[in-house]
Amino acid sequence: MVNLGDVFPDFEASTTHGKIKFHEWIGTSWAILFSHPADYTPVCTTELGRVMQLAEEFKKRDVKLIALSCDSVEDHNGWAMDIQDYIKTKDSLSYPIISDKNRELAIQLGMIDPAEKTKEGLPLTCRAVFIIGPDKKLKLSMLYPATTGRNFNEILRVVDSLQLTANNKVATPADWKQGDKCMVLPTVKAEDIPNLFRQGVEVKQVPSGKQYLRFTPQPK
């Protein structure tokens, strides 16, 4: 299992785009590795189709995408045609799918769903999401059960927050989206605010009298 802030494991794998070395494949970009239980399954088809539809949005954010399941590259390639048909495109999948037939990565990364098994009784992967920064460190992880499809608009929103807060002394509040106000980090001293936040800071008064709810326009 990988903890937040850990360097994400490097590995070699066979994919629909050929063999890769993971860290080399990431390069200086951000990356999202997302797993799915199995090829030729309904929820997974909608998910990978949705990622394909959002591929340009991830590209704008310099995010590389890579999927994974315990099926073969041959199965991945055959299933890809169904995904293309489902979203009504003739374009090939723009991101690779890893083959993890031996479940080595699924076990190493804690992606096994004990409730989901093949007809042979072998465990399948859950719907995991790992967001990895250019420094190869894990920035966010999420685990979903097989019965719950992921919201990839939310994953885009999370990427926006991670990239914004990596370079500015702000945090993003509940339900934040691009263009909304951010919050000044508690570690920022009041005397440093004028130099750090030229757009100004609004302090919300609360009964405790503590001035910790400090809002500022999204840094540009």
- Please tell me the distance from the alpha carbon of residue 31 to that of residue 159, in angstroms, as a whole number: 10
Q: Give the active site residue among 6, 10, 82, 135.
A: 135
Q: Give the active site residue among 44, 70, 126, 182.
A: 44
> Distance from CA of residue 162 to its chain's centroid?
10
Q: Which residues contact residue 130 at a Cβ distance below 8 angstroms, ignoring those fewer than 6 apart? A: 2, 8, 32, 33, 34, 109, 138, 140, 141
* 44 is known as an active-site residue: yes
Neighbours of 85 (CB within 10 A): 12
Amino acid at 72: S
* 175 is known as an active-site residue: no
Q: Exposure pattern of 16-31 as b/e (b: 16+ CB <10 Å)?
A: bbeebebeebbeeebb
Burial class (CB in 10 A: 0-12, 13-18, 19+), 159: buried
CB 36 within 8 A of CB 93: no
- Please tell me the distance from the alpha carbon of residue 123 to that of residue 118, in angstroms, as a whole number: 6
- Please tell me the distance from the alpha carbon of residue 219 to that of residue 160, in angstroms, as a whole number: 12
Q: Annotated catalytic sites, by residue?
A: 44, 135
